[in-house]
Structure 1
Amino acid sequence: MWPLTGYAVRGHIFCSPHRGRYVEHLTTSPGTGRRSRFRLSAPMAPGLSGSGCSVMFVSVRQLIPQDLASIAPGPELARVLAEVELSRLSGFDCVEVLKAQYRQANHERARVLAAMVEVGMRSGCDDLSRRAPDEFSADEIRAALMLTRRAADGQLWLAHDLLTRLPAVHTAMDAGELDEPHARVLSEWTTGLSDDQARAVCTRLLPRVRKLIHRATDRAAQEARDGSANQEIGPHRPPPTTGHHRTAARPHRQ
């Protein structure tokens, strides 16, 4: 029983004998020109080892490109990921594909946000003129994406803030380095700053923003847990009648 190497054509594995314990075969994608490697682990009887024989039911493991982590998000990475069959990957390779897919998703989300801003700034359907967004700018987005008014407003103004006030944050998303939740945190945390101050802060924080945000949220969660544990449990008391808890007395009926 020999290991074998070969290539797949319409569900058949065309194979030939190989000396190694495992064998890899290379196929070239017509769309990208990239070569995909597969590992064939099923043995083949010597009598069937002729060149060009068709062997069915051979277990095939797909190997990801060695430079997957360095492929920039965009059309090329999208084509590479489209050719990946997750069920044929090892656990390690699945993690690498997950990271690459997430980078691509961040890139695509940045383009969606940019498209939202363009829709919100258009003054008509047939011209290229732009105007500053107003309270009705999200209506076209809401109709196109079937969002609630609140969701459309929130996403439009986040997108507009990233592209106009915090362009470095949007650029990081477009490069696949930052996702929308982290970008939203940077937008909210810098609301009270001037544009120049906000840009300076984001430029400094972007290289380590994920670690800082996770550390801050973990600390807040721990403080909340500690506060709950330290609360004294006593008998039920009525709510205070001062401050914003004050309730208005009902008028007496005549």
Structure 2
Amino acid sequence: MKRVFSTFILSIICNFIFGQEIKMYDENFFLLEKKKKSNPVYFVKNEISEKSLKEKFYTLKDSLLVKEINTKKNEDGEILTQVILKYRPDGEIFQELIKDNNSGSFVFKNYDTKGQLFYISEYSRHSKMKSKYFDEENKEILISSEQLPEPKDGIMGWQKYLSKNLNYPPQARNKRLEGEALISFTISEKGDIENIEILNPVEIHPSIVKEAYRIANEYPYNWSPYILNDQARVSVMVLPLRFKLGS
């Protein structure tokens, strides 16, 4: 472990010597500005080609790979697809998110500690299209009964929380910028919100991205988990957060 960290420190020194910039990120994977005092948690290494970008996020403390974003672009530089991989400390992938800008679909794949796929869920921009759960033999689990996940006090409770706590970022308000943030998160078997992602960060102002993340991250209650055949299961939610100015 010391050797890995020493290698990382050496790489930072070399990057500064040769004029290459090392970008630092906070605990929520937001890029840190140089002028502001902050506590970096992750750094990123990029592999760039004409039509693709690979970003690998490592912990600053011990250089563990925790996240990887693979982006493919067309000749005009527009994003076609993006694959986000999230890793456990042991190096195994626990979630894969595939975003297809052509179809507007989002596919989530969740893996257990053995690296086996146990849940896949597909969404269009505003609705769930299908989801499947698999047993240890990789066979689809048939649904005999289910109970969908819900926030505290149902959807009305979620809307009440948003109306009370959601802020319109001044940076966007001053420029009269509006937008809709598509936010996704995993709901654990215990109802915890985990693995928050903003699915359309390129479409909206960065301050709206951060506010959408904050409002989900600071939700003070557990959701009721998804129940499949009388057993709590991991599930994924995709919800829109609209930022619209009054007349």
> Where on the TM-score scale, by shorter chain, does this alignment land: which range?
under 0.3
Q: In proportion to residue count, which structure has more helix?
A: 1
Larger radius of gyration: 1
TM-score, reference length from structure 2: 0.18
Q: Normalising by structure 1, what TM-score?
A: 0.18
